[in-house]
Structure 1
Amino acid sequence: MAVNQDYELPCGRELDTVWDRLDEVGAGRADEHELSCPHCRTARESLLALREATQELVTEPDPPPPDLVGRIMSAVRAEVRRGQMLNLGTSEPGGVEVSEQAVAVVLRYAADSAGDVRARRVRVRTVGVDDGGAARVEVELTLAVRLGNGDRGQSLARVRELVTRAAAARVGLSLEKLDLLVEDVYEDGE
């Protein structure tokens, strides 16, 4: 089944390849790249959630579970869209561009690695260009916090630190503004 025929993950692997190998990886027959690549792992988790939610719709004759719509919407939001292109600026002739969606994937992964939080939506918006020609951006990051997390302030500070660092080190962008919005809580196992 073709998922999205023209989307390549930041690691260079096609999203269709990740979809086609879901069962193989799940059965313990992952290749070296699949074992170590954070981009493939994130895409695989989203695709598995989408497949599970779809299967529930197919097999569930009764009204859907209350969290099904939220799970489907999370998968839809994670659906890859190229979006606007951002100029990264360079001192060399020519230019380097990256899509807002690719930036959002990097920032989502950084936020998810903070622990006790999950990134829900990432919105990247260009607000100008700096002297070197690089895009200046504002980011709005919507999060869910683990229920019972007593250190929410520290968790959010860690998210802010990791996202800001990832924007600079992994993408080459400086954030003008980073808004963190907590819109949900989740329990372990969700």
Structure 2
Amino acid sequence: MAVNQDYELPCGRELETVWGRLDEVGTDHADEHELTCVHCRTARESLLALRAATDELITEPDPPPPDLFGRIMSAVRAEVRRGQMVDLGTPEPGGVEISEQAVAVVLRYAADSAGDVRARRVRVRTVGVDNGGASRVEVELTLSIRLGNDDGGESLARVRELVTAAAAARVGLSLEKLDLLVEDVYEDGE
């Protein structure tokens, strides 16, 4: 284990030297300075405590936390839910990708902001790549519309406008296809 080589003790000795001679001093092979210098003795005691703590961590690792399996499985489930990655076709080296799940969240928020409509499910599916390297995606958005909405057609047109704009402005995607499916109605207060 190397110690910072630039640290000099008040007595003029470098800490690296004290570290390198720990075993010699411990086996009665100390020089006169090491026997009498309070600065070297203090540094040596601290370094010995550090070495003992490090050895203890190495020889007696903590048992795994009881929830380790659950935490690992949560991470695996989150990775599966994240879905496929969508390439944004950016010129940066390696490109920029975003998960289909993240795209769905942005589009759901846009649909919910239309008023009198609530997004239920959003499915994003990559169907190809354009000439610029960006993914071409299709979106299926399942909606619930407010009971008594007199302007259902206008509400859906507003959803289409907001979702298409959010895909372009917030994510950087052009939608290949956007299907809006009304599968339910809701009453105010639900």
User: Which TM-score band applies after superposition, normalised by the shorter structure?
Assistant: 0.5 to 0.7
Distance 1:101 1:162 in 2: 18
Matched positions, count = 119
Which residue of structure 1 lines up, in the alignment, with residue 161 of structure 2? 161
Q: What 5-or-longer segments of structure 2 have no aligned partner? A: 1-69
1:1-28 superposed Cα distances (whole Å, 9 cap, x missing partner)? x999559xxxxxxx9xxxxxxxxxxxxx
Which residue of structure 1 lines up, in the alignment, with residue 91 of structure 2? 91
Distance 1:92 1:189 in 2: 47
Which residue of structure 1 lines up, in the alignment, with residue 129 of structure 2? 129
SS at match of 1:156: helix
Q: Does 1:139 align with 2:139?
A: yes
Deviation at 1:81, TM superposition (A): 1.8
Q: Which amino acid aligns with 1:101?
A: Q
Deviation at 1:130, TM superposition (A): 0.7
Q: Which amino acid aligns with 1:148?
A: G
SS at match of 1:143: strand
1:97-116, aligned counterparts within 5 Å?
97-116=97-116
Deviation at 1:146, TM superposition (A): 0.1
1:110-146 superposed Cα distances (whole Å, 9 cap, x missing partner)? 0000000000000111110011111000000000000
1:149-169 superposed Cα distances (whole Å, 9 cap, x missing partner)? 000011000000000000000
SS at match of 1:81: helix
1:69-88, aligned counterparts within 5 Å?
81-88=81-88
Distance 2:154 2:179 in 1: 16
1:33-67 superposed Cα distances (whole Å, 9 cap, x missing partner)? xxxxxxxxxxxxxxxxxxxxxxxxxxxxxxxxxxx
Which residue of structure 2 lines up, in the alignment, with residue 26 of structure 1? none
Q: Which amino acid aligns with 1:142?
A: T
Deviation at 1:92, TM superposition (A): 2.5
Q: Normalising to structure 2: TM-score of the pair?
A: 0.59
Q: Normalising to structure 1: TM-score of the pair?
A: 0.59
Larger Rg: 2
Distance 2:144 2:162 in 1: 16
Q: Which amino acid aligns with 1:85?
A: M
Superposition RMSD in Å? 2.2
Distance 2:177 2:116 in 1: 23
Distance 1:92 1:181 in 2: 36
- % identical equivalent positions: 84
Distance 2:81 2:170 in 1: 20
